[in-house]
Amino acid sequence: MAMEKETILVIEDETKIADLIKLYLEREGYSIYIVPDGEEALNAYKEHHPDLVILDLMLPGLDGLEICRLIRQSSTVPILILTAKDEETDKVIGLSIGADDYITKPFSPKELVARVKAHLRRSKYWQVQKEEILGDERLKINTGSRQVWRNGIEIKLTALEFDLLKTLASSPGRVFTREQLLDLVWGVNYVGDPRVVDVHIGNIRKKIENDPSAPELIKTVRDVGYKFESLK
């Protein structure tokens, strides 16, 4: 049986950019669907069940952040947002509402391809993890069902947040550098900005810490990186 092609939905109204993305990703063997309009994006998403979404933030119709939020309500699909240089705030908002990564325009097609590959690999790899219970009574993590409970109450993390938390909690007390976390969670070929780690850690802390400004679970190790502090 032939391997089914992985599908990527590109939500982008600028034809030139959309065509360029299509050209490069088709060359890598992916099936590409382009939607130029925010209103159509959700229907296209439901129709094609893509393995990854590339989402421009400035769109006619529905705005990219809203699309991101709506897709995240029902799916853990990797979402990569495209932003212009002056949309710094949107990028951070995008990551906080569930986007996995961002690329700033203008970008090199090679970099985009590398990011897409890394996210698809990550998403496949984490789908086949064995079941294990991590954490302690404050925070319990089931790696099989991918559920997290804080003081007994289930909390929702995005797929990437879960993978990052799981990586840290798998080795309590061990200090991970940003680069190590990028390698382990995003994949060794990831070429993005190590600061994305900080943004995602910040988002996880808002969900799992009693006081995100004085974290007790995920600690910052100054000038090095992060570690998960377990009571066990």
Minimum CB distance to Ca ion, residue 14 (Å): 5
Minimum CB distance to Ca ion, residue 46 (Å): 22
Where do the DSSP E strands lie in 42-91? 52-56, 79-84
- The residue whose Cβ lies closest to Ca ion is 58
**How many residues bind Ca ion, per CB under 5 A?**
3
Nearest to 91 by CA among 65, 112, 67: 65
13/63 with CB nearer Ca ion: 13
82/201 with CB nearer Ca ion: 82
Radius of gyration from C-alpha coordinates of the chain = 18
Choice from 20, 42, 44, 58 touching Ca ion (CB under 5 A): 58
Choice from 7, 13, 66, 212 touching Ca ion (CB under 5 A): 13
Residue 187's region, left for phi above 0, alpha for psi from -120 to 50, else beta, is left
Q: Cis before residue 106, ω within 30 degrees of 0?
A: yes
Determine contact, residues 80/104, Cβ cutoff 8 Å: no
Minimum CB distance to Ca ion, residue 154 (Å): 36
SS3 38: helix
The site map against Ca ion for 18-47 (x = CB under 5 A) is ------------------------------
Minimum CB distance to Ca ion, residue 214 (Å): 40
Choice from 6, 51, 56, 161 touching Ca ion (CB under 5 A): 56
Minimum CB distance to Ca ion, residue 86 (Å): 13
Minimum CB distance to Ca ion, residue 23 (Å): 18
According to the binding rule CB under 5 A, does residue 87 interact with Ca ion? no
**Segment contacting Ca ion (CB under 5 A): 55-63, 159-167, 204-212, 224-232?**
55-63
Determine contact, residues 170/147, Cβ cutoff 8 Å: no
Compute the half-sphere exposure of residue 25: CA atoms within 13 Å on the CB side of its CA: 26
Positive or negative, the Cα torsion across 88, 91, 125, 120? negative
Which amino acid does the sequence have at 181? Answer: L
Write out the residues near Ca ion by the rule CB under 5 A. 13, 56, 58
